[in-house]
Amino acid sequence: MQIPEWNEQYHSKHGAVAEALHVFIKEGFQYYTTYHNLDEISILEIGFGTGLNCFLTFLKNKNNPVQIKYTGVEAFPLDLKEVQPLNFPSLLKASDEPFFKMHNIPWEEQISIDTHFQLTKLERKFSEINNENEFDLIYFDAFGIRVQPELWTEEIFKLMYLALRPEGVLVTYAANGSARRAMIAVGFEVERIPGPPGKREMMRAYKR
């Protein structure tokens, strides 16, 4: 999906599903649940967008369910009619019912998608996030630094650091030096790891 005024894609041209599966599911959700024996995990997504990362997390959790509290923050929500043509449920050979429910539920309320998945969608700017020690894992899926450099600053990453619990993890598709330096400046321990198809590297950051 193209954003004409920014000449930016909602997802990588190399494949929205492949990128999301690698960055947020494999190196985020799967990584975190493998190394932390939890009955419940609290996830914050920065940039709810099309709902793909949320839907993939929901599907992945079906294999070995834990209780998920998922919070998606989005400053400019998309209508379901804008998302439907992407046809993610069909691509993933999954029921479209939970995907449509994720988009149709009201904002600012915690709603059960199923018995193991609670979703809260918040319509606000990322700079307005004021949670502290609340999340185990952050999916940082903001638009790229080229078009929205203000989202990749020490100010924003300080809010992310505060929002995470100790031993919390943040994953992002980005690997640029300025974002890495901003993360380190606010206290994160950052590593570059192999990226998704078409990207050599991505970053995973830790609140030690």
Domain count, the chain: 1
Could you tell me the pTM of the whole model? 0.93
State the CATH number of the domain containing residue 129.
Answer: 3.40.50.150
Buried b (16+ CB within 10 A) or exposed e, 100-127: eebbeeeeeeeeebeeebbbbbbeeebe
- What pLDDT is stored for residue 78 in this prediction? 92
Name the stretches of the chain with pLDDT < 50: 1-13
Domain limits at 198? Answer: 2-206
- Express each pLDDT in 12-43 by its tens digit: 445 899 999 999 999 999 999 999 988 999 99
